[in-house]
Structures are given as C-alpha cells and as structure tokens.
Amino acid sequence: MKAAASPPGLVMPHIRPGRILAWTLLFIGGVIMVTPLLFMLSTSLKDASQVYDLRVIPEAPTLDNYIEILGDGRFTRWLINSTIVAVIVTLSNVFFDSLVGYTLAKFRFRGRYIVFIAILSTLMIPTEMLVLPWYLMASQFGWIDSYWGIMFPGMMTAFGTFLMKQFFEGVPDDFLEAARIDGLNEFTIWWKIAMPLVTPALSALAIFTFLGNWTAFFWPLIVTTSAELYTLPVGLSSFAVEQSIQWEKIMTGASIATLPTLIIFLFLQRYIVRGVMLAGLKG
Amino acid sequence: MATIDLDHLVKRYGPTTVVHGIDLSVHDGEFVVLVGPSGCGKSTTLRMIAGLEEISGGEIRIDGRVVNDLQPRDRNIAMVFQNYAIYPHVTVADNIAFGLYRSKLSKSEKRQRVEQAAETLGLSQLLDRRPSALSGGQRQRVAIGRAMVRDPAAFLFDEPLSNLDAQLRTQMRIEIKRLHHRLGTTSVFVTHDQVEAMTMADRIVVMRDGRILQVGTPLDLYENPVDVFTARFIGSPTMNLVPASLRDGGADLSLGGSVQVPQATATTADILVGARPQDLVPGSAGVPGLTVSGTVAVVETLGSETLVHIESAGQTIIGSAPGRQIPQIGEHLTLHAPAERLYYFDKATEKALAAR
C-alpha cells in the first residue's frame, strides 16, 4: 500500500527516443502504403468527370461504378475465372508440392539429391525467361487461350516443394514408423499422419499460392486472347486500352478484386506472419 | 502370442556391421529385455524384428514363420516408441483406434475394444482429449493402448520409459509388468537402464558392440556374470574389481593382503577379484574373503543403506553400511566380503574364471 502512495500525475510514462523514431517510421510507412489504397477506393466512388479531381473524399460519392461493374457480365466472368484459376492452382500446389516434398524428405532412394537440386535450380530462373518456353509449349499442345494454359506453369512450384520438404524433415520418423506398424500404407501415412502435422506450412503455402495467382498478370495476359478467359487483373487492364482509360472503372474493379485478399489477410494474419517467418522469404 | 527366433541376424550399414550374427529365441509369453550401452545394437535388433529396418543377413521367425521380407504391418506385432509417437492431431480414442486400422471388426466392436483398452490403462476419462493435454505418463499409456488394442503376437518396446521422470518411470515399469502378467503377450523390451532390465525381465539379453554377451534370468546374470562387462553393467553401484596375481592356492591383491581362489584356470597370473558393494560391509569377520582397508572419501546416505567410498592404495572401493550407520569422511574403515560372494575374472580376456 505504501508504494502506491505517490500521487498520480507525477509518474510520467518513460518513452525512449528509439520508440518515437520507430513509431514515426512506421507511421510514414503506413501512410505510403495506405494512400494508394485509399485513392483507389475514393476514385471508385467518383463519376468519370471527377476522376482528375484529386480530393480523397469525393464531392458527390456514388456507387454507380459498382452497380455498373457488377452488372457487367464480363467483370463477373473475370472474377469467376480468377477464382477458378487461383483455387485449382492452390489445391494442386498443396497436393503435389507436399507429396514431392514428403518423398524427398522421408525416403532414401538413388538420385534423390539430384532430383532435389534440379527442382531447386529452377528457383534461380526468372519468370521472364520461362515465359517463352511456356508459350511455345502451350502453343504446341494447343493450350493457348484455355484455363489449363493459364494454370499449367504454376500447378507445382519449386518454392512450395522446397518449403514442404523442409517441413516434413521436421516430422519425427517415429510417427511414420508407428503408422507403418499400425498397417497404414505409405500414401495414407502421408495423407493422414504427415500432412496434419505440417498444417502451418500448408496454410502458408496455400495463402501465398492463392494470392500469387489472384494477382498474377503477366502470364495470363500472354496466354489468353479472348475476353471470356481473362483473369481479373488482365480484364481490368483492358479497361485502359479499349476506347480511353476508364480510371473509375479500373479502380472499382481493383477495389472489388482487393476484397478477397483483404479478407484473407484479416482472417489468416496469424498464419501469414508465421508463414513468412517459416519460409524466411517472400511477404 | 508367439515365439520370436533370431538366427544369425546381421545388420550392416555400408561397410559397418552393427549387429554381428546374433542368435536368440524368445519363448511364447516371455518378457525379454535387451540391455546394453548406446550403440550396442539393441534398438537396431528390435527394429529388425519390427520390420522397420531391413536385415542384412540371417533369419527372423515370428511363431515359426520367416518374416525377413514381410512389411511391418504383416508381422502382427505392435511397437511402443521412446517418443510415444502418438499422433498429436487426433484424440486419445482415435489414437488408440489407429491400432485397429487394418482390422475388419465392425465400428461398434472397434469402439468397444478401444474403451476396454482405455479402461485397462486408466484412460477412460481422457478419450476425447488431444495428446497435448496429457502428461508424459498418460501419453505413454495411450501408446501402449494403441499397441494392445490389436491383440498382437508380440509387443516390442523401444526404450519407452526413457522420457519419463524417475517416479513415473518406476510406476510405468510396474504397470507394464502387470499388463504383461495379465495379457501374457510375448514382449521384447529395449533399455539401457539395468534397473529396468533387472526388475522387468523374465530373461535379460546383455549386448555390446552388436554381439550378445550373455542371456539369462536377472538373478543368473547378477550371480554368474560371464565377463567383466556384464558384471559391471548389472547391479548398482557397479561391482568393485581389485587386480590380483595368482599364486599357489590364492592370489595377492594389489591393495595388499590376499584371497583364496578356488580354481585357478586363468591364462595368465593376472586376475581381477570382484565384490559387489552390497556384499562389502564394514568389519573384518574371521571368515576367509576379501578385506579392504582405507580412508572414507565419500558417503552416500540412501536411508535404507549407506554407500561408503573408501580410498585404498589409489583405488576407490565402494562398500555399503546399514542405513543408520554413517561413517565419517576421513575415518579409517575396513570392509569385508566373504569368499563365497566374490567373483574372479581373467584380467587379459575379462572372462569369468571357473564357477564360484
């Protein structure tokens, strides 16, 4: 009781200068990152005549752009396309990356190391260099302008395989051996025992893959020719080339396209942070 | 229930041989403990019986059937691991039920089996819990539940108590032993702890460097160790060994004095005279035997007895005094072990000399 006797007001919270600097930097960083987003949202609420009026809060906010965009069959088509592509590629990555990663981590076979190095070495090749061979391949197999054409290069990734391999290496062999004795076959051991043990890595992989494909622009632009197969980013960019640049439409579409990303971030923040820490890269 | 036979069992990793053609027969319903220091090949042997490790030579038979090339799941054995290896993502009930993964029983029968096993092991209240909510002892019990629910031909235990604290280890030791009495299932238990081996085994198999040194009942090993290694490995504290040189009808001790040696069959004159600390007690009775005098260096008070370390001619000898008799450090003390409690080994080969 004695210790609490000093009058309030005399106790100044001690703030270290380092703290103030950190907060200031974070604040500036936050402003830099949030401003374009705010501007996108604000432009989406303006009509075409106000687009170049740079006020953040529109003079006469309107939802017309949203009504128009959502009523536009093309936009919903692109939204569906993006969803199909991102979901299928994500599922495929979660399945194949972890299957291959598990095999590389837990089985000893001749050539294992060579396979691993080969997979890893593809990480060193920039996407821009791969686009040409992908295109040639797609064109020879007749995959240009098809869902499969958009998806095939990303169905399995070296990064995902590497990530999952590292994780499966952390799964104690005892679990797998116990399952072997219990009578599970190798595939079931992977699916029922090993997979649930690496859920954090799986969710990180799934989130990265989904976001990467949801926002992918370059390859879908190259491989698609008809507007029905555009993904959202490609479709939105077409607003900029047709007659004139329709900024309010682009911003409205972009705002809608950001929603899933935002929702994912909000709900899966914990996993994303953990995923970034686990993966040690990306972000 | 089943017999397990190992016939010239060999395991090689590349050029290194870790198990050198061992022979062993485990009888139906027997509890056999493989014991030895780490790296002696005991776990490898167990894993070969389980089928988790391929064998490089020889034969393994379970109930007379050669299982060399059978998958673990086709051997009808169950195994309990050192790290429990219970699956963290499913409940206790599901963990136990994994033992019945390949069984063709109906769902309700499986459930009944799981509940039965849980009851035997005192896990009934915990069936819906996840392993993370269990203590180490409970986790190990779940692992045992998963093993016993299947009613296997044999249980294999790979150092299952190593991760438990001392008190829990003693308790689980008794529980496993009691379970074995009830179920009568053939069991092979691997440990590096000689106390576990002594207290649990019907027969102990002492291994070293991939070879079997001695097989016998706990008392047999304690009373008649075939060599210095077994003599020192079995029994705690370890046996005292005093160098001595043979002469007519007896041997002169390096510590001074002499003892009578019944049958001198050593290859050289150099022998080792062994005495267990429990047999080496204060006082020098007028009976023949080993007498050691020295200064008390360390006293370990255990309550039931007091271990006394004395320094004599540069060697430390451990003896024991009754619980309430505590010698002072620095005090001069004479310890004596009767002749019939002594052990004799050839110093060069480390083999035991003719029976005491």
For residue range B287-338, list pLDDT tens digits in order. Answer: 788 889 999 999 999 888 999 999 988 899 999 998 888 889 999 999 999 9
How does pLDDT run across B148-166, given as a tens digit for each residue? 898 899 999 999 998 888 8
A182–B101 CB contact, under 8 Å: yes
How sure is the predictor about A55, in pLDDT bands with cuts at 50, 70 and 90? confident
CA distance A263 to chain B (A): 27
B98–A197 CB contact, under 8 Å: no
**For residue B48, what pLDDT is reported?**
96
**For residue B285, what pLDDT is reported?**
65
With CA atoms as reference, the chain B residue closest to A175 would be: B85
A106 Cβ under 8 Å from any chain B Cβ:
no
How sure is the predictor about A178, in pLDDT bands with cuts at 50, 70 and 90? very high
Distance (Å, whole) CA A253 – CA A234: 11
Distance (Å, whole) CA A221 – CA A81: 13
Q: Which residues on neighbouring strands pair with residue B294, listed in sequence order?
A: B333
| Contacts of B171-179 spanning 24+ positions with Cβ under 8 A | B171/B137, B172/B137, B172/B140, B172/B141, B173/B199, B173/B200, B175/B121, B175/B141, B176/B144, B176/B200, B177/B31, B179/B120, B179/B144, B179/B148
**For residue A150, what pLDDT is reported?**
94
Residues of A in contact with B88 (CB under 8 A): 197
Inter-chain CB pairs, A–B, below 8 Å:
56
Neighbours of A47 (CB within 10 A): 14
B83 closest CB neighbour out of A174, A180, A197: A174
* Comma-separated ranges of CATH 1.10.3720.10 domains in chain A: 69-282
Contact map slice: A 133-172 vs B, CB within 8 A: 172
B87 closest CB neighbour out of A175, A180, A183: A175
Q: Which residues on neighbouring strands pair with residue B299, listed in sequence order?
A: B308
Residues of B in contact with A197 (CB under 8 A): 87-89
Query: CB of B307 within 8 A of CB of B335?
Result: no
B113 Cβ under 8 Å from any chain A Cβ:
no
B32 Cβ under 8 Å from any chain A Cβ:
no
Residue in the block written with tokens 């210790």? A3
Distance (Å, whole) CA A78 – CA A236: 9
With CA atoms as reference, the chain A residue closest to B89 would be: A196
B13 Cβ under 8 Å from any chain A Cβ:
no
B101 closest CB neighbour out of A183, A196, A199: A183
B73 closest CB neighbour out of A174, A183, A199: A183
A196–B50 CB contact, under 8 Å: no
B52–A181 CB contact, under 8 Å: yes
> Helix or strand or coil: residue B259?
strand
Distance (Å, whole) CA A179 – CA A187: 11
**For residue B313, what pLDDT is reported?**
86
**For residue A6, what pLDDT is reported?**
47
Averaged over B178-183, what is the pLDDT? 91
A172–B72 CB contact, under 8 Å: no
Mean pLDDT taken over chain A: 86
How does pLDDT run across A77-91, given as a tens digit for each residue? 999 999 999 999 999
DSSP state of A198: T
**For residue A13, what pLDDT is reported?**
66
Query: CB of B300 within 8 A of CB of B307?
Result: yes
A181 closest CB neighbour out of B78, B86, B90: B78
**For residue B1, what pLDDT is reported?**
61
CA distance B24 to chain A (A): 22
Measured between its terminal Cα atoms, the distance across chain B in Å is 38
Report the CATH number of the A69-282 domain.
1.10.3720.10
Between A200 and B128, the more confident residue is B128
- DSSP H or E run through B4: strand B4-13
A180 Cβ under 8 Å from any chain B Cβ:
yes
